Amino acid sequence: MNEDILIPIAAFASFAAIVITYFAYNSKHKIEVQNTIRKVLDKGDNLTPELLQKLGTYNSPRVMDLRKGLALCAIGAAALLAGGVVDELRTGIAFGVFPLLLGIAFLTVWRLNRYDD
């Protein structure tokens, strides 16, 4: 097998592994939260906003938009800088522009929306 193709394959495989792991753990966490809520309701107890916040079910959309925007901008900027450092600016631009623009879009939504939280 050609060694030049192993690096891109490894990069895409590691990215896919990270995404799959994130979604698997996120799904497991949501199932555990739902089971806990079900147990509380089966006992006849009330669900208070404080309990839901402790369980991690309530995330402010305003905060989530800000976090996503900052994270995506950082990923895009890192890809652009990495491309510049290794003298492959076109590759850095190719990989960095999409997350950077997506991050800017999230930051724009965060800035323009009027949230009710």
Banded model confidence at residue 65, pLDDT cuts 50, 70, 90: confident
At residue 51, the pLDDT reads: 77
Last residue of a domain, one of 58, 75, 99: 58
Q: Do 116 and 90 fall within a single domain?
A: yes
Q: Quick one: 60 exposed, middle or buried, by C-beta within 10 A (0-12, 13-18, 19+)?
A: exposed
Distance CA 60, CA 109 (A): 14
pTM for the predicted model, two decimal places? 0.57
CA distance 98 to 96: 6
- Kindly state the helix (H) or strand (E) to which residue 88 belongs, with its residue range: none
Please indicate, yes or no, whether residues 117 and 64 belong to a single structural domain of this protein. Answer: yes
Instruction: Please tell me the predicted confidence (pLDDT) of residue 97.
Output: 93
Q: How many domains does the chain fold into? A: 2
Where a domain ends, among 9, 26, 58? 58
Phi-psi region of 23 (alpha: psi -120 to 50; beta: other; left: phi over 0): alpha
